[in-house]
Amino acid sequence: MHIVQAGMEFDVLRANNKIAHENYHLLKEHGIKSVDFMGSIGAGKTALIIEIGKRLVGRGKRVCVIAGDVTGDDDFKRFREAGLDAVNCNTGKECHLDANLIRKCLADIDLDKYDVMIIENVGNLVCPADFPLGTDFRAVVVSTTEGDDMVRKHHAVFQHSDVAILNKMDIADAVGVDPSVITKDYNKLTGGLKNMYTCSARKGNGVDEIIDAFGF
Ligand SMILES: Nc1nc2c(ncn2[C@@H]2O[C@H](COP(=O)(O)OP(=O)(O)O)[C@@H](O)[C@H]2O)c(=O)[nH]1
Ligand SMILES: [Mg+2]
CA dist 30 and 90 (Å) reads 24
Write out pLDDT tens, residues 113-145: 999 999 999 999 999 999 999 999 999 999 999
* From 38, 122, 200, mutation site for ligand 1 pocket: most ligand atoms within 8 A of C-beta: 200
Classify residue 93 as exposed, middle or buried by CB count within 10 Å of its CB (0-12, 13-18, 19+). exposed
Residue of the nearest CA to atom 13 in ligand 1?
A: 44
At 10 the pLDDT is 73
Ligand 1 near 147 CB (within 6 A) = no
At 5 the pLDDT is 53
Chain centroid to Cα 15, Å, comes to 21
Any long-range contacts for 104-108 (C-beta under 8 Å, 24+ apart)?
Answer: 105/66, 106/23, 106/26, 106/27
Write out pLDDT tens, residues 1-24: 444 455 557 788 999 999 999 999
Which residue positions in the chain have pLDDT lower than 50?
Answer: 1-4
**Domain extents in the chain:** 2-214
Residues 33, 116 contacting (CB under 8 angstroms): yes
Rg (CA), the chain: 17
Question: The domain 2-214 is classified under which CATH number: 3.40.50.300, 2.60.34.10, 3.20.20.370, 3.90.1170.10?
Answer: 3.40.50.300
Helix (H) or strand (E) holding 189: helix 179-189
Ligand 1 near 200 CB (within 6 A) = yes
Within 10 A of 54 (CB to CB), how many other CB atoms are there? Answer: 16
Alpha helices (H) in 82-149, listed in sequence order: 99-107
